[in-house]
Structures are given as C-alpha cells and as structure tokens.
Amino acid sequence: MLYYAQEQEVKNAVEGVKSKAEYTGPDPKLAASLEKEILDTNPGVRWDDVAGLNESKRLLQEAVVLPLWMPQYFQGIRRPRRGVLMFGPPGTGKTLLAKAVATECGTTFQNVSCSSLCAKWYGESERLVRCLFDLARAHAPSTIFIDEIDSLCSARGASGEHEVSRRVKSELLVQIDGLNNSTKNTAGKPVTVLAATNFPSGLDEALRRRLEKRIYIPLPDFESRKELIKINLKSIALAPDLDIDQVARRTEGYSGDDPTNICRDASLNGMRRKIAGKNPDEIKNMSEAEILEIPVMMDNLLEALVKIQPTVSRGDIERHEKWFSEFGST
C-alpha cells in the first residue's frame, strides 16, 4: 500500500483541482443534470472495507492508482490504461472495489448505469455519452464506473439490435478510444473507465479491446470469507462459543454477498427466540439493553447456513473461468 504522507499530499492536490474544475462543454444544462445524478466526489470505501481479493486490489492499484501517484513514470508506452474491466460471478465485490479505487486515489467517482445514458429523444443518448466524458475531463483525475456494462454495450450486429443502441455503443467506443491520448489530459490528471459485468461473453469485441485490463474477481477463498464474517459481526454481541473458522469452511462456494446474508439472518435468530410467545405490547416494552445484548450464538449461524444456499452455480464459475482463460489480461 502507499504511504500515508504521500496519499495526503496527492489528495490535497486533487481537491485543489476539483475546486477549480468547471464544465465548459456545449451542453451545460445536460451536464448539470448528469452531474447531479452520477457524481460522487468521495465514495468513502477503503481497501480494508473489501475483504480479501488482495490480487485484484494489487492489479487495480497498478492500473488506476499508481498512474496518479507517479505521473512522470506513466508516460509513453506506460501511459495509463484507458479502461479496466472487472468480471466475475455476482456478489464478489466488483462495485465495492471500484469505489475503493476512487476513494484511495482521491479521484472524482462517476457512478454510471445504463439508465443514466438512456434518453427518449433522438440523438440525446449520444449527447449524454459525450457529456459524461467531458465532465470526467473537467473533474480529472476521475474514474468513470459503468456497472453492468453488458446491458449498455452488448455485441453489435445481434438480431433485434436497435439503431439507437448501436449509435450509443459507437459513441462510447470513440470516447474511450480518446482517453489519455489527448493533450487535454495533462500529466497526473488521467480519466479511467472502470467497468463491471457478470456476463463478459456478451460484450462487444471492440469494447473488450479498449478495456485493456480485464480482471477476474473470483469467489472469496477461506481467509476472505473468514475476514468477511468478522467484518459483518464486528458491531454486535457474540457468544463465546462462536467458531468463525467453522462457518468460513462451511461457506465454500459462496459469493461475497452470501456470508453477509448468513450473518444478517443469524443476527436476527436470537431476537426471534426472545420475542417468541410475547404479545405486541410486551415486545414494545422490552428495554434497550434487553434487545441489544442478545448475542449471536453458534447455533444461530448454523441455522442460517441451513436456510441460505449459495447463489452462484458451478456452471457460472466454469463459464467465467473459460472466458478468463481466453480473454483475461492480468
């Protein structure tokens, strides 16, 4: 990880750039509307908030964070990546990683969904795409995060593809192509596209080429699941007999979201037993200490494990691993 003193210095410089940033493009009203919807100057997610995924963090830091910290080094053939694609099963932490990247390196974070770039008037969707990238340059250094990018940029030429959809894809490709090659982007002020998808095989091949770094975000391993369970249970009372190692071993094949759901359900089991047989008035009159001091017991977690099954199938894993072996770029 990077040193705190350096981090603070860059963040101060970035804040100075942001305070002076101003959109000067041809669509100020459109830009103001888009900015209000997607702009997040501080997502507030740190690396430590993301359990495990150390290799994914390292790759993202190298591709996105270091070019901001070492602009003199990332020149010429080492110029910053135009785009990074994170792919993998749902619930593995792709969105959380994108927010952590933006927070750690102090960039402006633009959280874009398909609906943000869709408009009912002819030609307006393409204007929104251009405006998005103009905004990113105005607020540079910045990160454009496009979640579920497969819904916006699926393979062109597919049956039933609408002309509007094809034009939007083409505009997006043109804009990504021009990132960090323009004289408008001075050293230390890169604009990076971070994209995430659960269906990488459905992406347009031209977009795949532009997203030069393609990082597989796998299911959490034992240590990651253990860390995730600790993070989820850290703010509530725990029984002395709680064996987190055993729970982590029994969640093999679960996505990052699944242990969170197990912990959430287990945290409610004690309350369910506490109020069993009580009438509404008795429940309302329970003291705060009586409610908050109900500990999570091992039996609560084991009961939740029986009820909550993994949300990712073996077929999903094999599909992602096959795509990674063909197109991964780590």
Residue 309, burial from CB neighbour count under 10 angstroms (0-12, 13-18, 19+): exposed
Q: pLDDT category, 210, cuts 50, 70, 90?
A: confident
Q: In this structure, what DSSP letter does residue 63 have?
A: I
**Is the distance from CB of 328 to CB of 57 less than 8 angstroms?**
no
Q: In this structure, what DSSP letter does residue 92 have?
A: S
What angle do helix axes 298-307 and 257-275 make, rounded to 10 degrees?
120
Rounded (5°) CA angle 170-64-19 = 90
Domains of the chain: 23-153+161-219+321-327 (3.40.50.300), 222-309 (1.10.8.60)
Rounded (5°) CA angle 209-256-327 = 20
Q: Return the percentage of the chain with pLDDT > 70, whole number.
A: 82
Q: pLDDT category, 142, cuts 50, 70, 90?
A: confident
**Is the distance from CB of 149 to CB of 81 less than 8 angstroms?**
no
What angle do helix axes 28-38 and 124-138 make, rounded to 10 degrees?
70
- Using the Cα atoms of residue 260, residue 265, residue 269 and residue 272 in order, give the sign of their dihedral: positive
- The residue with tokens 């709680």 is 242
User: So what's the pLDDT on residue 9?
Assistant: 44
CA atoms in the 13 A half-sphere facing the CB of 147: 17
Q: Does residue 82 register a pLDDT over 60?
A: yes
Q: Does residue 7 register a pLDDT over 60?
A: no
More confident residue, 71 or 250: 250
- pLDDT tens for 9-49 read 444 444 443 444 576 766 677 777 777 767 666 677 888 88
User: So what's the pLDDT on residue 20?
Assistant: 44
Supply the mean pLDDT for the chain.
Answer: 80
Of 78-92, 180-194, 203-217, 298-312, the least confident: 180-194
Partnered with residue 108 across adjacent β-strands are 142
User: So what's the pLDDT on residue 164?
Assistant: 67
- pLDDT tens for 270-322 read 788 778 888 888 888 887 777 777 788 898 899 999 989 998 888 899 999 99
- Report the greatest alpha carbon distance in the chain: 72
Please tell me which of 9-13, 66-70, 147-151, 212-216 the model is most confident about, judged by mean pLDDT.
212-216
**Is the distance from CB of 184 to CB of 137 less than 8 angstroms?**
yes
Collapsing DSSP to helix, strand or coil, 168 comes out as helix
User: So what's the pLDDT on residue 120?
Assistant: 62
Q: Return the percentage of the chain with pLDDT > 90, whole number.
A: 13
User: So what's the pLDDT on residue 16?
Assistant: 43
- pLDDT tens for 158-167 read 655 666 677 8
User: So what's the pLDDT on residue 21?
Assistant: 56
Q: Which of 103, 155, 85 is nearest to 328 (CA)?
A: 85
User: So what's the pLDDT on residue 216?
Assistant: 92
Report the residue count for the chain: 330
- pLDDT tens for 106-122 read 777 888 877 777 766 66
User: So what's the pLDDT on residue 187?
Assistant: 53
- pLDDT tens for 217-256 read 999 999 999 999 998 888 888 888 889 999 999 999 998 8
Q: Amino acid identity of 94?
A: K
- The residue with tokens 């795949």 is 208
